[in-house]
Amino acid sequence: MKKILLFIKYFFYITTGILIVVALNFALSDEETLPRDTLWQILASGALTAAITAVLSPQDSRTFGGFAVKCALHYAALCVVMILCGHSFGWLSYDLGGIAMMALSVALVYLFTFFSYYIMDRKQADDINRRLREKYRDEEEV
């Protein structure tokens, strides 16, 4: 159940990040219109990368070194999946420039997702701590 909830959470974060990166790439390109299938492709790639993230999530690391290694492996797995998706969707060509651009796009989505997840979790933890302080303060006064 926890992995399913993580998948849903990551799906929204990652898909939003992909939409932002696609919007930036589209704004910088010469394209006039967005191909019809692009939105479904974004959802599919968001689902694939969310599934990988739910399975390979580096948040369970006990040391910074372990966290860094898991992040690097996770990022590499996401790059491989997105390069394959990008090629099959026609988003990139298999040349150094296309692969580098996809790796950069994955890095941008990775950073967006990491910071969004951190901010939301931090806010949730602060809310829980505030409620606990209020609860125990009320009990001490009684």
What is the C-alpha separation between 37 and 21, in angstroms, rounded? 17
Q: pLDDT of 46-75, one tens digit each?
A: 999 999 988 887 776 678 888 888 888 989
Kindly report the pTM of this predicted structure.
Answer: 0.77
CB 44 within 8 A of CB 86: no
Provide the greatest CA pair distance for the chain: 70
Tokens, residue 41 = 């492709």
CB 74 within 8 A of CB 109: no
What is the C-alpha separation between 102 and 92, in angstroms, rounded? 8
Cα angle for residues 5, 56, 46 (degrees, 5° grid): 60
